[in-house]
């Protein structure tokens, strides 16, 4: 998952960690970020565990919403996601 540099800088996503929360099952997962050549940020670990725990698979679309910025930003999702069926 890639995060545009401008968005990352504006919302404090440059410290290397953020939290993904699932609203309905009330779980949360810490994921780690890395910067790629100063161009964008991306999740380097933790996303796979989040997807497995919440039943997301390849091709599923999930919308994340930044609910708290700061030292450890939090992104939340609801159980609503779009499954790719093509």
Question: What are residue 41's phi and psi, to 5 degrees?
Answer: -110, 155
Task: Read off the pLDDT of residues 32-72 as tens digits, 9 standing for 90 and up.
Answer: 888 888 888 888 888 888 888 888 888 887 888 888 877 77
**Model-level pTM?**
0.71
- Domains of the chain in start order, with CATH, are 2-77 (2.40.330.10)
Record the tokens describing residue 18, joined without a space: 């953020």
Q: pLDDT (tens digit, 9 = 90+) per residue, 76-86?
A: 876 555 555 55
Residue 46 CA to chain centroid, in angstroms? 9
């Amino acid at each position: 998952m890639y995060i545009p540099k401008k968005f990352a800088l504006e919302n404090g996503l440059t410290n290397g960690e953020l939290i993904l929360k699932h609203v309905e099952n009330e779980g949360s997962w810490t994921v780690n970020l890395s910067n790629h050549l100063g161009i964008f940020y991306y999740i380097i670990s933790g996303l796979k565990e989040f997807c497995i725990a919440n039943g997301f698979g390849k091709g599923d679309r999930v919308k994340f919403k930044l609910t708290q910025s700061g030292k450890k930003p939090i992104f939340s999702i609801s159980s609503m996601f779009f499954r790719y069926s093509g």
